[in-house]
């Protein structure tokens, strides 16, 4: 069974640009969540999507947005990039029900903002 | 709000040593608790979990017990191996969202042969 796939794995942008990251969940998983990982703040929840609807949102500015498609694939977008947005962005998928909290993570997309 | 505090690393041990990584949490209600592990160059993966007080999660020789009275979920292993070298994250499920996890800062563990 293929795991969670994130693209691109690495990217470099400059301040003020925008970026879109993509995530393909494990087949059959309908929930996709996104996390930001930085050395200073650790792992922080961005948002979660289920059946194309945002079900939860973390404490990030409106520049961070996401969406989910009918095939459960998800994208997140960051507009007007700032230096502090440099991070590893992790996508996780899960089935729903009794396995609450059991997330399957991708390897991440490492974003560098110059 | 909910939070998780885990012992700071890095932690360096010799092979076959006993391991403890401390984790305490602050939460309203009774969240589920987790340990995730991130091996070099890989994504996070669930190591073990416990969903209610006094539950013991275990996997690959690692164990952790959900202690409500001390709000703790310490990770232990009796005899570590070089292959256990990784970053370990303690986490709790935020009751406000089914798949929203609150993570600790992570503890980097290095095992020397």
Q: What is the DSSP letter of A25?
A: P
Q: Does B96 touch chain A (CB under 8 A)?
A: yes
Nearest to A88 by CA among A113, A66, A67, A114: A113
Distance of CA B99 to the CA centre of its chain: 17
Rounded average pLDDT over B2-22: 94
**Res A42 pLDDT > 60:** yes
| Residue A98, pLDDT score | 52
pLDDT tens-digit series, residues A66-104: 999 999 999 999 999 999 999 999 999 998 755 567 899
**Residues on chain B touching A102 (C-beta within 8 angstroms):** 34, 46, 49
pLDDT tens-digit series, residues B26-54: 998 888 999 999 998 888 999 999 988 99
Side by side, the strands of the sheet bearing B62-65 are B19-21, B75-77, B62-65, B56-59
CB contact under 8 A, B101 and A45: yes
């Amino acid at each position: 069974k293929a795991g969670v796939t994130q693209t691109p794995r690495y990217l470099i942008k400059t301040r003020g640009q925008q970026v879109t990251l993509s995530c393909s969940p494990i087949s059959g998983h309908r929930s996709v969540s996104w996390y930001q990982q930085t050395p200073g703040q650790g792992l922080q929840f961005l948002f979660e999507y289920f059946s194309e609807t945002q079900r939860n949102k973390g404490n990030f500015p409106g520049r961070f947005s996401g969406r989910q498609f009918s095939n459960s694939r998800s994208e997140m977008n960051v507009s007007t990039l700032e230096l502090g947005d440099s991070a590893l962005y992790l996508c996780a998928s899960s089935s729903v029900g009794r396995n609450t909290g059991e997330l399957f993570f991708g390897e991440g997309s490492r974003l560098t903002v110059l | 709000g909910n939070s998780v505090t885990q012992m700071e690393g890095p932690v360096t041990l010799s092979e076959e040593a006993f391991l403890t990584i401390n984790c305490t949490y602050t939460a309203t209600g009774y969240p589920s608790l987790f340990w995730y592990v991130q091996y070099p160059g890989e994504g996070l993966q669930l190591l073990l979990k416990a969903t209610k007080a006094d539950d013991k999660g275990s996997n690959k020789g690692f164990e952790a017990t959900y202690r409500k009275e001390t709000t703790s979920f310490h990770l232990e292993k009796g005899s570590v191996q070089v292959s256990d070298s990784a970053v370990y994250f303690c986490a709790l499920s935020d009751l406000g969202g089914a798949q929203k996890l609150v993570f600790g800062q992570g503890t980097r563990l290095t095992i020397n042969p």
